[in-house]
Amino acid sequence: AGLTHLVSISGSHVTLIAVLAAFVMNKSWRRLRLGGRPLAELLPAQLASAWTALLVAWLYCLLAGWGVPARRTFIMLAVVAGSLTVRLPLSATHVLAAAAFVVVALDPWSPLSAGFWLSFLAVYVLMASTGWWGRSAFASSGRVAGWLEGLREATRLQLLVTFALMPPLAMLFNEISVVSPL
């Protein structure tokens, strides 16, 4: 439908919607009962939330056109949901490597697309940025200080991704975006 850039410019949109669905499911699952017994006793709320997030991400990726960045995002979320299910701790780089393997296994021609390299490079840059993985943006004391710290960190990450993607974008498309840092 040509909605890829409108609906899913990057995996962050898919992940944001999936996280919101997981949050709602987590809160609901803990309160729901089946025959007087809490559902959380039958299936942990964390697993119900993870699989709900995966379902929502899959539907959103289908709506977005199932391009390489959407596939990468969905597969990364699937690897995380699977590792939670079997209680296998994985590092962020293992999740990214597994996603790359599955994307190429499902579509051997995907490494020939610019979206493959740009998507995986952007995620790698975010993961390689020191202090980003698993750290709360609101770690500072005080609400205003926390928001300012979060804004500073988001700005830093945006600049890192922008500068990391400039050379491949210039090479692939003979242009770069001057408004990307904003």
pLDDT in tens, 71-124: 889 999 999 999 999 999 988 889 999 999 999 999 999 999 888 898 899 889
Alpha carbon separation from 21 to 66, 73, 91 (Å, rounded): 20, 16, 23
Q: Could you tell me which residue, 140 or 48, shows the higher pLDDT?
A: 48
Give backbone dihedrals phi and psi of 89, rounded to 5 degrees, phi first.
-70, 130
Find out whether 92 and 99 touch, Cβ atoms under 8 Å.
Answer: no
Among the listed residues 164, 174, 175, 176, the one whose alpha carbon sits nearest the alpha carbon of residue 118: 164
Give the pair of three-digit tokens for residue 160: 């890192």
Identify the helix (H) or strand (E) that includes residue 37.
strand 37-38
Instruction: Please tell me the predicted confidence (pLDDT) of residue 23.
Output: 96
Mean pLDDT of 127-136: 62
Query: Within a 10 A sphere around the Cβ of 88, how many other Cβ atoms?
Result: 10
Contact between 127 and 92 under an 8 Å Cβ cutoff? The reply is yes
Whole-structure pTM value: 0.78
Residues 96 and 27: their CA atoms lie apart, in Å, by 29
What are the pLDDT digits (tens) for 42-54?
899 999 999 999 9
Give SS3 for 176.
Answer: coil
> In this predicted structure, what is the pLDDT of residue 87?
93
- What distance in Å separates the CA atoms of residue 174 and residue 10, rounded to the nearest whole number? 21
